[in-house]
């Protein structure tokens, strides 16, 4: 595989769908994904893995059952495995995600909001 340099803003400009993470790179069997959030997602948990959210632009919330985390640009939050959470954003928010290959966006929740997995941009 060639060694590429990619730009996050360039990659973000290539898709507009909300709640549909796109893979931009892999580190061994972990994936670095970009996503655009707007509105409120579904409650879900990832039983087998932690999930990192890094806000690149905008602001978002991650609701937990007992509190709400507020994230602005440059803020990083790791949701521990098995922890129910519901991301939301009042306006378009650009997020970098780090998680193992194979994680689906809705975790243990139903398929209504499930995005195709392992889609690269």
The residues binding a copy of itself (CB under 8 A) are 1, 3-9, 24-28, 30, 32, 49-52, 54, 64, 67, 69-72, 74-81, 83, 98-100
CB of 96 or CB of 106, closer to a copy of itself: 96
C-beta of residue 82 within 8 angstroms of C-beta of residue 46: yes
CB of 65 or CB of 110, closer to a copy of itself: 65
Q: Using CA atoms, how far apart are residues 67 and 97, in angstroms rounded to an integer?
A: 21
Q: Shortest gap between Cβ of 119 and a copy of itself (angstroms)?
A: 17
Residue whose C-alpha is closest to residue 53's, from 71, 30, 65: 71
Q: What size, in residues, is the chain?
A: 121
């Amino acid at each position: 595989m060639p060694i590429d340099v990619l730009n996050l803003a360039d990659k973000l400009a290539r898709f507009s769908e909300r709640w549909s993470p796109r893979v931009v790179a892999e580190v061994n069997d972990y994936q670095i994904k970009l996503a655009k959030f707007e509105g409120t997602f579904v409650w879900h948990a990832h039983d087998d893995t932690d999930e990192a959210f890094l806000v690149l632009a905008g602001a978002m919330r991650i609701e937990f059952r007992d509190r709400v985390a507020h994230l602005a640009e440059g803020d990083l939050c790791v949701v521990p495995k098995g922890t129910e959470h519901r991301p939301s954003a009042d306006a378009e928010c650009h997020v970098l995600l780090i998680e193992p290959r194979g994680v689906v966006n809705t975790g243990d929740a139903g398929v209504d909001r499930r995005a195709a997995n392992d889609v690269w941009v």
